[in-house]
Amino acid sequence: MTASTHTALITGASAGIGATFARHLAARGYHLLLVARRADRLQELAAELTQQHGAQRYEVFAADLTDPAAPAAILGYADERGLDIDVLINNAGLSGKTAFADTPWDTLAAEIQLMVTAQTELAHLVIPGMKKRGWGRIINLSSVAAFAPPAASLLYTGIKSYVLNISQALDMELKPHGIHVTALCPGFTHTEFHDVMGTRDQANHLPRIMWQQPEAVVTEGWDAVMKGKPVCIPGIVNKISAAAMKPLPVRLGYLAGKTLNPFKNS
């Protein structure tokens, strides 16, 4: 099966790592189903890709993955359009920015729905077809935070730890069927993420050496999933950070997470 016959579903495709994955895969001959909330941004990206790589199909589907009905709607659209999903890039994400106790439950539930339930459901929906065709690639966006101590108030580290663990579990199960699953665990990346979350001021105080460009993250992540690596930590600084954080005893890890988190709430 050649790349030109493959279709990739990318969530959170309107900007940042998601849009970078779209450009990366389009340049390699993949058809794309681009998903995000902002239809106008998706259409702009599809037009850009069509101009540069006109031979492929670039479908757009506006969906809010905090809506429990969204995953089934996305795959329903793919079926209607005759698209077999061979690659899934589970990229859509966000992070809370207020204390847990002060955050409305609907907001917390939306965060869990987006980064835990929807990610898991999308994988569950596409895997049967991948198994039938004997080939598939899934990248789930985790974070170097998955290796970090818990952070006060935030669900983010727990969610990203789940993504790291479930990705490895799925890779163990599915590799015999020709399907590779990789948890991509970037650190600080130059995207709109911190602007949307309202944490740009804190992020700007971090040393420049800690930051990566999304192109570097995507290149390393795609290379990892194609080689069958279940975990990818892009960038030497992130690799060192993850290796340093993992051996911490539970008590020290808790204290480090409580005191060193640059985005902790006052």
H/E run at residue 183: strand 179-184
Gap between the Cα atoms of 211 and 235, Å rounded: 9
Domain annotation covers residue 7: yes
> Could you tell me if 139 and 186 are in contact, meaning their C-beta atoms sit under 8 angstroms apart?
no
The Cα 237–Cα 20 span in angstroms is 21
- Range of the structural domain that residue 123 is part of: 3-260
60 forms beta bridges with 34
Record the tokens describing residue 108, joined without a space: 């917390």
Whole-model pTM?
0.86
| Position 119 in a domain | yes
Task: Report the catalytic residues.
Answer: 156, 160
Residue 266 falls within a domain, yes or no?
Answer: no
Mean pLDDT, residues 189-212? 57
Q: Is residue 215 a part of any domain in this protein?
A: yes
Q: Which residues contact 166 (CB under 8 A, 6 or more apart)?
A: 120, 140
Assess if residue 265 is contained within a domain. no
So what's the pLDDT on residue 162? 96
Structural domain contains residue 83: yes
Do the Cβ atoms of 129 and 104 come closer than 8 Å? Answer: no
| Cα gap 24→29, rounded to integer Å | 9
Confidence class of residue 1 from pLDDT cuts 50, 70 and 90? very low
Report the number of distinct structural domains present in the chain: 1
Residue 143 lies in a domain: yes
Over residues 22-41, the pLDDT tens digits come to 999 999 999 999 999 999 99
- Residues 93-144: tens digit of each pLDDT: 988 878 899 999 999 999 999 999 999 999 999 999 999 999 999 999 999 9
Closest CA to 22 of 207, 79, 152, 47: 47
Give the whole-number percent of the chain exceeding pLDDT 70. 84
CATH of the domain at 102: 3.40.50.720
Measured CA to CA, the distance from residue 117 to residue 70 in angstroms comes to: 11
